[in-house]
Amino acid sequence: MTSPAGRRRAPVRSNVRGCGFPMSAKRRRGTGPSVMVGGVTRAEIDALTRRVDAHDETLRAVADTVLDIKDVADEHTGTLGGHSATLAEHTATLAEQTATLAEHSELHRQHAATLAEHTELLHEILRRLPSS
């Protein structure tokens, strides 16, 4: 392995001696909690590893929750799209029915006028008939 400057770096192994913390091959001597690794004790590394793992777990839980919320939001968006389409259909139907009602109202007005004329004619006819 080489660094960006072209220098050779020591190989890095993760989970050296079960700590789950990547350490270079040069720093793997000793096993006790008082052993220093790069100026940090094994106990500090273990504590840091536990904290990182806990934060990782929390982050994964939050990410899962966010994904669940996104899925629900996507479902609601689809439902809203369906409702919007239904509303558009109902609006078009209502517009047609409003136009039909306007036509029927005009016909009703015309029929009422015709009925009034016929009623007047019938009264005139009845008035002219001889009384028996």
Please tell me the distance from the alpha carbon of residue 31 to that of residue 9, in angstroms, as a whole number. 23
What is the rounded distance in angstroms from the CA atom of residue 20 to the CA atom of residue 45? 9
Q: Name the band, by pLDDT with cuts 50, 70 and 90, for residue 12.
A: very low
pTM for the full predicted model: 0.49
| Sequence spans of domains, the chain | 36-127
**47-65 residue pLDDT tens:** 999 999 999 999 999 999 9
Residue 25 contacts residue 10 (beta carbons within 8 Å): yes
* Mean pLDDT score, 110-126: 97
Distance CA 25, CA 31 (A): 14
- Give the pLDDT of residue 35: 54
